[in-house]
Amino acid sequence: MFRFVVILACLAVSSTAQAADLPPCKVGMHVPRVSPLNRSATILAIDAAKGSYQVKGEDGLIDWVPASKLRSSCTGVDAAAVTTQYFIGNWSLFIGPTAHHEVIDSKGYLVVGPGAHVPPLQINTDGSYVWTLDSKTTIKGRWRVMADKELRSGTQPPAILLTKAEAGRDWQVSRAGVNAGNNRDAISVDRVDLGLSYRGTRLP
């Protein structure tokens, strides 16, 4: 047991030392690895307040990524802390790819869909929210600040709870960095009792 603890401590020290040896991330810098795709890229722009970096890969694709995606190449700046005011506003929602079964040529296949945009979510300063589910259904409810002990595993505070929202269930709303395409604020909207989630991007 002692030997295992020592090994973990050495690994932590080694990781910290490695990070300290990395140069600061700068515009124009070529980074050999941008996770999670582990592709090389060049830094085009930096938004220090959001802790985001615009990178252009050798394939020509341009994305905004958080500093954590560059840590094996350079030392970036993490996003500034926010309060629950971060969640106030209008958010465009997107549901990610989901797996489902389809019958093709009399054979069953597990197919992953492309994902889709869904109607928006409005979070107001007075503690209310308006969640448009479709052309016929709009939910108006209340939100509150979540205590740390209530947060879903892996969630960094702050977060808020939309009470009795879609499907009559409670949904957690937490910060999720920035939208890779336009660097706008992003949120994760997660049903607290199930694995269903939406990704949100702040509308202009």
pTM: predicted TM-score of the whole model, two decimal places: 0.79
DSSP letter at 24 equals B
Which residues of the chain form CATH 2.40.128.10? 84-202
b/e string for 103-123 if b means 16 or more Cβ within 10 A?
eeeeeeeeeeeeeeebeebbb
Q: Does domain 84-202 have CATH number 3.40.50.300?
A: no
Taking the C-alpha atoms of residue 75 and residue 64, their distance in angstroms, rounded to an integer, is 16
Contacts for 36 with CB less than 8 Å, ≥ 6 apart: 69
Contacts for 181 with CB less than 8 Å, ≥ 6 apart: 63, 64
Tell me what percent of the chain is helix, strand and coil, each rounded to the nearest 5.
15, 45, 40
Residue 29 has pLDDT above 60, yes or no: yes
pLDDT score of 178: 96
Which residues of the chain form CATH 2.30.30.140? 2-70
Q: How confident is the model at residue 198 (pLDDT cuts 50, 70, 90)?
A: very high
Could you tell me which CATH number the domain at 2-70 has? 2.30.30.140
For residue range 31-83, what is the model confidence (pLDDT) as tens digits? 999 987 788 999 999 999 999 999 999 989 999 999 999 988 999 999 999 99
For residue range 108-154, what is the model confidence (pLDDT) as tens digits? 554 444 445 678 999 999 999 999 998 889 999 999 999 999 999 99
